[in-house]
Amino acid sequence: MKLRSWVLIFIACNLLTFSTISAFRLSRSQPTERISGSAGDVLDDNPVGRLKVFVYELPSKYNKKILQKDPRCLTHMFAAEIYMQRFLLSSPVRTLNPEEADWFYVPVYTTCDLTPNGLPLPFKSPRMMRSAIQLIASNWPYWNRTEGADHFFVVPHDFGACFHYQEEKAIGRGILPLLQRATLVQTFGQRNHVCLKQGSITVPPYAPPQKMQSHLIPGKTPRSIFVYFRGLFYDVGNDPEGGYYARGARAAVWENFKDNPLFDISTEHPTTYYEDMQRAIFCLCPLGWAPWSPRLVEAVIFGCIPVIIADDIVLPFADAIPWEDIGVFVDEKDVPYLDTILTSIPPEVILRKQRLLANPSMKQAMLFPQPAQPGDAFHQVLNGLARKLPHDRSVYLRPGEKLLNWTAGPVADLKPW
Amino acid sequence: MKLLSAFRSSYLNRRGTTFRSLDPSSFDGGFIPKPSPSSIFWLAIHCLCCLISLILGFRFSHLVLFFLFSTSVTNLYTTTAGVSQLLKLKPLEKANVTAKSSRVVVGRHGIRIRPWPHPNPVEVMRAHQLLERVQKEQKSLYGVRSPRAVIAVTPTYVRTFQALHLTGVMHSLMLVPYDVVWIVVEAGGKSNETASFVGKSRLKTIHVGFDQKMPNTWEDRRRVESKMRIQGLRIVREEKLDGIVVFADDSNMHSMELFDEIQNVRWFGALSVGILAHSGNADELSSVLKMNQEGKPIQGPSCDSSGKLVGWHVFNTQPYATKTAVYVDDKAAVMPSKMEWSGFVLNSRLLWKEPVDDRPTWVKDVDNLLDGNEEIEDGPLSMVKDPSMVETLGSCGRNVLLWWLRVEARADSKFPPGWIIKSPLEITVPSKRTPWPDSSSKLPVVTKEAKYNQPATEKRSGKAKRIKEQEQ
């Protein structure tokens, strides 16, 4: 009896060690620190052997033909859905036998209907998704077995599976009813928001890895810029008055700090954007129309500490990466005091954050390289999926049980695609 | 209504940025609409809003009303909303948003601006300290692991251009981020002029005199300089200085990267020197350049494609064959020797008397040289048994890190000792424009200054006046 209680206490103590950073590991170029998030030291985990994914063979009108129509989809920030399919098709976790699969992947490119400017229009996406789900539900028994609870979809658009770029409309629509039980891999993440389903995996937006690697400068170039930002402060086309775009946070940054010599902020598009980021200590990553931004990825790759100004945001792979230790979080209401906040950070904390950012597994986890490399974002997604295994027994429905409402949602969505 | 009118008047008084710091809480708790005359009430509000937007513009009116009704969840304002639409302040269907008590609200928010946006000087200082700390960390990571001291050996002598040259070297050495020992060997014995430079530098210095006087021809000068450098090396041996020996000739120009690059040397290194063989005669220079198209004015190591040292690049003196300077103040171009000393650096441990453990075998034993038994003939390469083992610096000589130049004044040029004019100047020539009386022997030094000050201050006040006018 006593032994058992001691064993229980021992196990309890082990379970209590959450989010610890330990072991200063010296590497040849820069000392880095190990990264452990709340899920543990999982960035270097190898998902091969831990899960099996079955990729549905959808007709090419759902994926290849769309890509052929507009190859720009390969380079914009929503390209993760395309590369995810390519990765899974040739990955060792793929299985051709659906009976032994733990997860099912549906390759449908919902974010590839681009305007002439290159922005994706989400108006047809709900119908496309619905049509794809109808197809797999009628051709394979696995959807109906669980009503999608062991299926995952990649929906990298602004507000995920709410399929709209305007926040109120997205909230109004909510997540597509058919995806209520599926796992969503998306870039959007905000706590207590309709469009973030519990159990979703947040991924970074796509940033072209070769382009960023080609702009690296030698590490001994001294970091002489204190705060750096390039981007819009006012979206004059959609929000001429201000206060709506970015919830007024970007405008507040501009109005308060445009004359401050420590802040190198402007709306220009310099050709030396990546080089300048490598010469800065802090890079601002404020929200825009949606809270996520590719600036976070760029800041991590270039070793610039991200200053995240977006209330309640959920950052990529939040259970594997301890973002609190790596970036600086500033509430939107504290934006006027940004300079006080940033200058009052002790130097040891700054150096530690830079060491964490220098960790190569951290940089790898933010990228979608082709071909895939170990530790990159594809593998982190698989790790996240593997951590959700084994499926709970409630996932499997009793025969005849139906939980999804196939006719819910706006009437326009029910039209066939 | 009283509250409203009071608000309006105070609002009219305080325009501009100070408005934004208006405390919304004073207007908290808004207006509880009375049930029966509610329509009249709303009409009154409507008129008020129209008036405000007339006077202050659309944006301000929105802000006013936002602050008025800001405590509860705001409705979204459509961008083309007329004032009447503002009155339909139905709360948004926030069943989804606020059900889980989110503090993030969709809709229009105010742009927060603090009332005194100027940067706080204390914070600016702290930011600069942070920048310095980060850069120091970067240097220690990507720069040299354990920086060694730099021992600069400079042969010099007193002449007109000494101040020009030594100031340059002194400032370069003062900027070096590593420990510096500056050995100044002076021909003709120690002098006060040189001592003043050496003292000004605030570096660790060793100033010695050399018995010979500096001769007047370049050929002899080179020989004496070599002897002086050997004397410097002797001092390194005696004092057992530990570091990297650099031959910093006083008329050369050194870049800061040079001192970072030489930290990589192990025993004996060579780097590229840019040769500036300029005579001061522009026509001659252009004709020389036309002839010298293929050659580069560089002396230094030369490597093959795999980075191995295969030879030495030497300055092409052919074009100058007929027109080189012989005497120090000749107008022709000065030619460098085949291998200048300044292109080589060595580890001071090579010079120590006690045998060091891992002294390379390809360097000759320098004791004989330093004891004065040998004469060094053609540059420092003769200190090395096997020249192919010399380490190359600056990516095998591709980076030119210092420049060689020889410029001297006429032999009969005089300069005030210490460059301080002790007695008043003897001849003054009145300038054509000033309305001076004929110059008398008593120099109007004081009045001259006063005259100069007056017009300047007048000009300055005039400018100030103009600026003030512009501001208003």
Spatial CA neighbour of A288 closest among A241, A338, A329, A238: A238
Count CB atoms within 10 A of the CB of residue A249: 25
Q: Measured between CA atoms, how close is B102 to chain A, in angstroms?
A: 6
The phi and psi torsions of B449 (rounded to 5 degrees) equal -65, -40
Q: Average model confidence (pLDDT) for chain B?
A: 74
Domain segments of chain A as ranges: 52-205+370-388, 207-364
* Distance separating alpha carbons of residues B464 and B462, to the nearest angstrom: 5
Q: How confident is the model at residue B345 (pLDDT cuts 50, 70, 90)?
A: very high
Structure tokens at B399: 């980076």
Task: Output the pLDDT for position B314.
Answer: 85
| Mean pLDDT computed over B131-152 | 87
Q: Measured between CA atoms, how close is A334 to chain B, in angstroms?
A: 9
List, in order, residues 6 or more apart from A227 with CB less than 8 Å away: A257, A262, A263, A264, A265, A280, A281, A282, A283, A284, A307, A338, A342
Structure tokens at B249: 């000739």
Query: Of the ranges A299-313, A341-355, B28-42, which one carries the lowest mean pLDDT score?
Result: B28-42
DSSP single-letter state for residue B209: E
For residue A120, list its beta bridge partners.
Answer: A114
Sign of the alpha-carbon dihedral angle for A388, A392, A394, A397: positive
Task: Output the pLDDT for position B358.
Answer: 73
* Distance separating alpha carbons of residues A270 and A338, to the nearest angstrom: 24
* Distance separating alpha carbons of residues A340 and A262, to the nearest angstrom: 12
Structure tokens at B437: 């009386």
Residue pair A112/A120 in contact by the 8 Å Cβ criterion:
yes
Q: Measured between CA atoms, how close is B89 to chain A, in angstroms?
A: 16
* Residue A12 pLDDT > 60: no
Structure tokens at B116: 């005194």
* Distance separating alpha carbons of residues B398 and A171, to the nearest angstrom: 62
Q: Do B137 and A351 touch (CB under 8 A)?
A: yes
* Distance separating alpha carbons of residues A130 and B356, to the nearest angstrom: 80
Q: Measured between CA atoms, how close is B120 to chain A, in angstroms?
A: 8
Cα–Cα separations (whole angstroms), residue A413 to A63, A124, A176, A232, B351: 20, 8, 9, 33, 87
Q: What residue has token string 């950070």?
A: A345
Q: If contacts are CB pairs under 8 Å, which of residues 183-222 in chain A contact chain B? A: 190-194, 218-220, 222
Q: Average model confidence (pLDDT) for chain A?
A: 88
Task: Output the pLDDT for position A417.
Answer: 83
Burial class of residue B63 (count of CB atoms within 10 Å of its CB; 0-12, 13-18, 19+) = buried
Could you give the ipTM of this predicted complex? 0.84
| Mean pLDDT computed over B289-311 | 76
The phi and psi torsions of B417 (rounded to 5 degrees) equal -60, 130
* Distance separating alpha carbons of residues B167 and A261, to the nearest angstrom: 34
Longest dimension (CA), chain A: 72
Q: If contacts are CB pairs under 8 Å, which of residues 9-68 in chain A contact chain B? A: 29-31
Q: Do A223 and B134 touch (CB under 8 A)?
A: yes
| Mean pLDDT computed over B189-206 | 90
Query: Of the ranges A90-104, B18-32, B45-59, which one carries the lowest mean pLDDT score?
Result: B18-32
| Mean pLDDT computed over A324-351 | 94
* Distance separating alpha carbons of residues A78 and A165, to the nearest angstrom: 13
Burial class of residue B292 (count of CB atoms within 10 Å of its CB; 0-12, 13-18, 19+) = middle
Contacts 24+ apart (CB under 8 A), A341-346: A342/A226, A342/A227, A342/A282, A342/A307, A342/B127, A343/A262, A343/B123, A343/B124, A343/B126, A343/B127, A343/B130, A344/B123, A344/B126, A345/B130
| Mean pLDDT computed over B177-203 | 91
Estimate to the nearest angstrom the gap between the alpha carbon of B74 and the chain centroid: 53
Structure tokens at A165: 């770029």
* Residue B448 pLDDT > 50: no
Task: Output the pLDDT for position B282.
Answer: 61
Cα–Cα separations (whole angstroms), residue A190 to A203, B117, B275, B279: 13, 31, 64, 72
More confident residue, B360 or A331: A331
* Residue A26 pLDDT > 50: no
- CB of A140 within 8 Å of a chain B CB? The answer is no
Estimate to the nearest angstrom the gap between the alpha carbon of A393 and the chain centroid: 28
* Residue A364 pLDDT > 70: yes
* Residue B168 pLDDT > 90: yes
Q: What residue has token string 């305080």?
A: B14
Can you list the alpha helix ranges (DSSP code H) found in A282-359?
Answer: 295-301, 323-326, 338-343, 347-358
Sign of the alpha-carbon dihedral angle for B170, B171, B174, B176: negative
pLDDT above 70 coverage of chain A, percent: 94
| Mean pLDDT computed over A39-44 | 81
Count CB atoms within 10 A of the CB of residue B203: 17
Q: Please report, as a single letter, which amino acid is at residue A116.
A: P
Q: What's the Rg (C-alpha) of chain B?
A: 38
Q: How confident is the model at residue B24 (pLDDT cuts 50, 70, 90)?
A: very low
Which one of A227, A262, A348 would you mutate to disrupt binding with B, by most B Cβ within 10 Å of its Cβ?
Answer: A262
Which one of A244, A283, A308 would you mutate to disrupt binding with B, by most B Cβ within 10 Å of its Cβ?
Answer: A244
pLDDT tens, residue by residue, A169-206 = 889 888 988 898 899 999 998 999 989 998 899 999 99
Structure tokens at A138: 């009628």
Burial class of residue A410 (count of CB atoms within 10 Å of its CB; 0-12, 13-18, 19+) = exposed
* Residue B70 pLDDT > 70: no
Task: Output the pLDDT for position B453.
Answer: 46
| Whether the bond into B35 is cis, omega within 30 of 0 | no
Q: Do B104 and A192 touch (CB under 8 A)?
A: yes
Task: Output the pLDDT for position B130.
Answer: 95
Q: At what angle do helices B2-13 and B38-56 cross, to 10 degrees?
A: 10
CATH number belonging to domain A207-364: 3.40.50.2000
Structure tokens at A237: 């086309």
